[in-house]
């Protein structure tokens, strides 16, 4: 099986040691290196552990014949745009079961009309992971609030709407969805 572990790790800016420490249970950098190079066989269990450590789906770590990856033409760094030293590929975003979509119809804050937002649904125990991020939270039957999550306490959320001068909202939420991916048509 061809893996893309090294490509994804480098794209995330992580070292072998950092990925090894993020694995549950933690492992060694040497083991991650062997899995990257194919010196050690990658089992489904290892693939899932490394994917979780990198914050991606397991499918993002393997080369799939039916997925069209995008070749990286340039890297934007401190010296400007430069060509990659070796071929790099970007995997297209893939939704997970916890994802939901949001469509922006009218420009708000940094979002433009037509933007598509992919958001990850979180349970109350994970709300703190979304502080200072844009979130969608259900309010009543068919209603939602969208804005910056400023605080959370035992299932109560404090959301600052994106509209200038809007007042902070405080309410109980059974779940929130934190924006993870912005797709913008040019």
pLDDT tens, residue by residue, 103-127: 999 998 899 999 999 999 999 999 9
Report residue 155's pLDDT band, with 50, 70 and 90 as the boundaries.
Answer: confident
Of 70, 90, 110, which marks where a domain is finished?
90
Mean pLDDT value of segment 131-155: 91
Of 90, 113, 130, which marks where a domain is finished?
90
On whether the CB atoms of residues 71 and 87 are closer than 8 A, the answer is yes
- Predicted pLDDT of residue 2: 67
Give the number of other Cβ atoms within 10 Å of residue 49's Cβ. Answer: 21
- pLDDT higher at 25 or 68: 25
Residues 81 and 126 in one domain: no
For residue 89, give both structure tokens.
């590929």
Give the residue numbers spanning the domain of 147: 99-183
Residue 85 has pLDDT above 90, yes or no: no
Q: What is the DSSP string of 98-135?
A: TEEEEE-SS-BTTB-TT-EEEEEEE-GGGGGGGTTSEE
Of 69, 90, 111, which marks where a domain is finished?
90
Cα dihedral sign for 58, 6, 93, 123?
positive
- Predicted pLDDT of residue 64: 64
User: How far apart, in whole angstroms, are the C-alpha atoms of residue 93 and residue 86?
Assistant: 22
Q: How many domains would you assign to the chain?
A: 2
Q: Cα 146 vs. chain centroid, distance in angstroms?
A: 18
């Amino acid at each position: 099986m061809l893996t893309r572990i090294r490509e994804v790790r480098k794209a995330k800016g992580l070292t072998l040691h950092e990925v090894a420490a993020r694995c549950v249970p933690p492992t060694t950098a040497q083991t991650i290196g062997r899995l990257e190079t194919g010196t050690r066989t990658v089992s489904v269990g290892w693939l899932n552990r490394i994917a979780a450590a990198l914050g991606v789906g397991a499918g993002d770590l393997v080369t799939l014949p039916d997925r069209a990856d995008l070749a990286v033409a340039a890297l934007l760094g401190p010296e400007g745009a430069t060509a990659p030293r070796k071929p790099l590929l970007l995997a297209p975003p893939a939704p997970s079961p916890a994802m939901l979509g949001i469509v922006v119809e009218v420009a708000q804050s940094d979002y433009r009309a037509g933007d598509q937002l992919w958001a990850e649904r979180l349970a109350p125990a994970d709300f703190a992971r979304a502080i200072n991020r844009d979130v969608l939270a259900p309010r009543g039957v068919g209603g939602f609030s969208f804005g910056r999550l400023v605080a959370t306490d035992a299932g109560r959320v404090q959301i600052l709407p994106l509209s200038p001068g809007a007042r902070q909202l405080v309410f109980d939420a059974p779940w929130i969805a934190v924006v993870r991916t912005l797709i913008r048509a040019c």
